[in-house]
Chain A
Amino acid sequence: MSSHHPEVAAIINRHRSSANSMLKRSQSRYLYNIFVANLSGVFSVSANVDGNVLHITIDDIKSEIDSWINELNTFIEDAWNRYDSEKDESGAEFVRLSSMGNDILYITMDYNNTKAKLDEMELEFQNTVRLYHVPVRSALTDIHILYNNETGYNGDFSGMKNVSVYIHGIESTSNEFLIGATEGGQEGDIIVHMRRDGTILYYVIHNGKAVLIRDDSKLTQLKEEAIKNNGRLHLLYDTEQMNEHRQETSDDLARKLNNLGLLNDETKIDMFAHSYGGRRSLQFAMDYPDHVRSITTIGTPYDTNMLGSMADNVRWLAEWIGQNPKEASDYLDFNLDNQNDVDGLYYSNAYTDLNSEPMTEDLHNLKAANPEVYEKLLEMEITAAAGYRIEYTYTHSPINPQRIEYKTNSDDTVSVESQNGEILGDLIDYRPQYEIEDGTGVTNPSHIYEIEDEDFRALISEINVKMLEEAEGSMEK
């Protein structure tokens, strides 16, 4: 440690004392090591950090160091402001102030280096915190569900025994499901549209149309009628973050369904999903198998997906064509392959997932950890529908040129094989394939028209009716 000018030494002595106080308060070994490595040229710290309680607020520590820098800069500025060259005939004061300025410059450099190291420390803490955020939150949700069940909690829709949940894919919302849910429902069914902006719209199906309910008392009355008539609740669900990872969706959906009073032994859920929404649905079914009765998907990339991989690997290009490959929640997967980062802050989202993991990976882990859940998945009715297009080619015969029709092996975005969940084997009960007439190519793929496709809408209707009939049948038995 070099010797400092007495005035500067007095200031940094206060800083040393402040640093020791911070270490004493935080009891952080990491912080201690940063101070020792970066401030030893300025002062030495002596606080003991072997105490029991770790307490870190990195922002406060950085603010404190900022105040040190400020104090030194203000001190030297004031000194120069007070400097009068006429009174300093020998120039000694000028030399002293210059030397002090240099001294302060080196000290503030060390302080800034310390702050840079604190940024690295913060990033490391943030990444660790992200890793455990969702597991802790989902553990709390599980406790909340148990509590609601034991205390007979009444949510807004408690008593509804049949629920359809509609889940969208990446870069999307559940808006397009409104037609399918309306056609797939029955007179008097309630549709709840939980939108990303936090607003909730309520509809009732009347004469084959979704009629907006504007009045709370009307909603209560219609809800009671729907419960009495064993009607269905259709939940159009927007994920909080458009491109969030399926695990984040599963946890958020569980919280919302629990708050609505729909996660109980009586209520059974039929899930309908498009594209990545299918992975989200399957994740929910893996997490809450006792509540899910069926899953119906179209356009779902159950295998890894080339376009998803490209978007995750060449993010600037994906952004250029209007996608948001960096958009993510706080979720971070433990699987290192299912991670990406923005300036060192790690995240996992739908794109990292499509790039790294086929759905079989988590299913195999689940099967090993809990074979009962896998058995329950096998018992669910799972339909993995695929969209494809018809294209034409011509024979080059000069005598008899012919137009030949052929079926594409993808919906421009996801292969038929992946959509049909071939890799999931006997977990999938039905694998229908539908021709999608709209869209072509990667910029306007037929993939995005699948939700509104007539065949898929008919499938939603068919499954809703079938599940209701089976439930009524088993109740009669």
Chain B
Amino acid sequence: MNTITFNKDLPGKTRSMISGLEEKFSTLLQQMTYFKAELDRHHGKAAVRLQEKMVKNLDFFSKLSSRLLYFADTVLNFVNAVAALDSAACATNTLTSRAEYQYTFSTNRFEEEVKLTPHALKDETEQFEGTLIAVDDLLTEFHTLLNQVIYETTFPWDDVDASWHSAKTQISSIIQMAKHRIEDMSKSAHLLIDELTRVDNLLSHQMIK
């Protein structure tokens, strides 16, 4: 058997990071789904452009969240299992399946759950930018942690070992893409909020008449 190397502190660090990201990704997807549903009701040029962007971003963040978290969770569970074996403790396998992660961050599931209410629009628009900042920060931390995992960890699997470093490049690249999208969404957030509020006011006005 080849070498196994990892940091015993990794499970603790990764566990809290996974929980944090799960929560923030869910909030982000929920808000994006909400905006998409709102934008579905609007037909102005700006709204259509924003809606197209939102659909693409939703798809990307749905895949990104399930895949990054599944990866982190499998590594965490493996490290836990080896650490438990080494310390003669009883290992508990808490591995969440790939299918389960996909369902947790499925756009369809969010779309089914979203409920459009006037209060929700106000709440979601107020919190959206905060969520974007939080996800951006967590992704930076997550990236640092993954770098640590990849550089300081050795697995005795030839085929995994062979793709380990290219995986690092790809993960870095995907996280950068996510950050660019967040930056872009942040820039459009004002536009989005203005557009949604404008049309919402318009609709309220029409209803009063």
| Interface SS of chain B | helix
B 176-188 to A, binary, CB cutoff 8 A, 1 in contact else 0: 0100000000000
Query: Please, which residues of chain A bring their CB within 8 A of the CB of B152?
Result: 53
| Interface SS of chain A | helix
Are the C-beta atoms of A372 and B106 separated by less than 8 Å? yes
> Is A182's beta carbon under 8 Å from chain B?
no
A 374-392 to B, binary, CB cutoff 8 A, 1 in contact else 0: 0000000000000000000
> Is B201's beta carbon under 8 Å from chain A?
no
Query: Please, which residues of chain B bring their CB within 8 A of the CB of A143?
Result: 67-68, 71, 167, 170-171, 174
> Is B189's beta carbon under 8 Å from chain A?
no
Are the C-beta atoms of A54 and B8 separated by less than 8 Å? yes
> Is A135's beta carbon under 8 Å from chain B?
yes
Query: Please, which residues of chain B bring their CB within 8 A of the CB of A150?
Result: 60, 174, 177
Are the C-beta atoms of A334 and B88 separated by less than 8 Å? no
> Is B24's beta carbon under 8 Å from chain A?
no
Are the C-beta atoms of A140 and B86 separated by less than 8 Å? no
Q: Shortest CB–CB separation between residue A118 and chain B, in angstroms?
A: 10
> Is A369's beta carbon under 8 Å from chain B?
yes
> Is A300's beta carbon under 8 Å from chain B?
no
A124 to B86: give the CA distance in the assembly, Å.
Answer: 10
Of the listed stretches A27-35, A106-114, A159-167, A267-275, chain B binds A27-35
Are the C-beta atoms of B74 and A33 separated by less than 8 Å? no
Are the C-beta atoms of A129 and B5 separated by less than 8 Å? no
Query: Please, which residues of chain A bring their CB within 8 A of the CB of B100?
Result: 369-370
Are the C-beta atoms of B99 and A369 separated by less than 8 Å? yes
Are the C-beta atoms of B68 and A54 separated by less than 8 Å? no
Q: In the complex where A52-B9, A144-B167 touch, is A132 in contact with B78 (Cβ < 8 A)? A: yes
Q: Which of A57, A128, A139, A366 contacts B71 (CB 8 A)?
A: A139
> Is B191's beta carbon under 8 Å from chain A?
no
Query: Please, which residues of chain A bring their CB within 8 A of the CB of B7?
Result: 52-54
A29 to B86: give the CA distance in the assembly, Å.
Answer: 6
Query: Please, which residues of chain B bring their CB within 8 A of the CB of A147?
Result: 170, 173-174
Work out how many contacts link A and B, with CB atoms closer than 8 A: 147
Q: Which of B4, B91, B95, B97 contacts A54 (CB 8 A)?
A: B4
Of the listed stretches B15-23, B35-43, B135-143, B156-164, chain A binds B156-164
> Is B108's beta carbon under 8 Å from chain A?
yes
> Is B26's beta carbon under 8 Å from chain A?
no
Are the C-beta atoms of A125 and B108 separated by less than 8 Å? no
> Is B53's beta carbon under 8 Å from chain A?
no
> Is B93's beta carbon under 8 Å from chain A?
yes
CB contacts under 8 Å to A, within B58-102, are 60, 63-64, 67-68, 70-71, 74-75, 77-78, 81-83, 85-88, 91, 93, 95, 97-100, 102
Q: Shortest CB–CB separation between residue B147 and chain A, in angstroms?
A: 14
Query: Please, which residues of chain A bring their CB within 8 A of the CB of B160?
Result: 133, 136-137, 140
Are the C-beta atoms of A334 and B103 separated by less than 8 Å? no
Q: Which of B9, B102, B156 contacts A129 (CB 8 A)?
A: B156
Query: Please, which residues of chain A bring their CB within 8 A of the CB of B98?
Result: 135, 138-139, 142, 287
Query: Please, which residues of chain A bring their CB within 8 A of the CB of B167?
Result: 140, 143-144
> Is A373's beta carbon under 8 Å from chain B?
yes
> Is B1's beta carbon under 8 Å from chain A?
yes
A 429-460 to B, binary, CB cutoff 8 A, 1 in contact else 0: 00000000000000000000000000000000
Are the C-beta atoms of A132 and B74 separated by less than 8 Å? yes
Query: Please, which residues of chain B bring their CB within 8 A of the CB of A11?
Result: none
> Is A179's beta carbon under 8 Å from chain B?
no
Query: Please, which residues of chain A bring their CB within 8 A of the CB of B156?
Result: 129
Q: In the complex where A33-B88, A366-B99, A372-B109 touch, is A57 in contact with B3 (Cβ < 8 A)? A: yes
Are the C-beta atoms of B103 and A370 separated by less than 8 Å? yes
Q: Shortest CB–CB separation between residue B23 and chain A, in angstroms?
A: 20
Q: Which of B4, B63, B95 contacts A135 (CB 8 A)?
A: B95
Are the C-beta atoms of A142 and B173 separated by less than 8 Å? no
> Is A36's beta carbon under 8 Å from chain B?
no
Are the C-beta atoms of A140 and B85 separated by less than 8 Å? no
Q: Shortest CB–CB separation between residue A252 and chain B, in angstroms?
A: 10
Q: Which of A52, A129, A137, A138 contacts B1 (CB 8 A)?
A: A129
Closest to B82 in A: A128
> Is A411's beta carbon under 8 Å from chain B?
no
Query: Please, which residues of chain A bring their CB within 8 A of the CB of B108?
Result: 372
CB contacts under 8 Å to B, within A37-62, are 51-59
Are the C-beta atoms of B155 and A136 separated by less than 8 Å? yes
A59 to B97: give the CA distance in the assembly, Å.
Answer: 33
Closest to A367 in B: B99
Closest to B99 in A: A370
Are the C-beta atoms of B170 and A373 separated by less than 8 Å? no
Are the C-beta atoms of B81 and A57 separated by less than 8 Å? no
Query: Please, which residues of chain A bring their CB within 8 A of the CB of B102?
Result: 370, 372-373
Are the C-beta atoms of B6 and A137 separated by less than 8 Å? no
Q: Which of A52, A55, A137, A138 contacts B157 (CB 8 A)?
A: A137
Query: Please, which residues of chain B bring their CB within 8 A of the CB of A369?
Result: 97, 99-100, 103
Query: Please, which residues of chain A bring their CB within 8 A of the CB of B2?
Result: 57, 59
Closest 7 CB pairs of A and B: A132-B78, A370-B99, A370-B103, A139-B71, A147-B170, A369-B100, A57-B3
Extra pairs beyond A56-B5, A373-B102 (11, CB < 8 Å): A33-B88, A51-B8, A53-B6, A55-B3, A128-B91, A129-B157, A139-B74, A142-B71, A287-B98, A334-B93, A372-B103
Contacts A/B (CB < 8 Å), 24 sampled: A51-B8, A52-B9, A53-B152, A56-B4, A58-B1, A59-B2, A125-B4, A125-B85, A126-B1, A128-B81, A133-B160, A137-B157, A137-B159, A139-B70, A139-B74, A139-B75, A140-B160, A140-B167, A143-B170, A144-B167, A144-B170, A150-B174, A150-B177, A365-B97
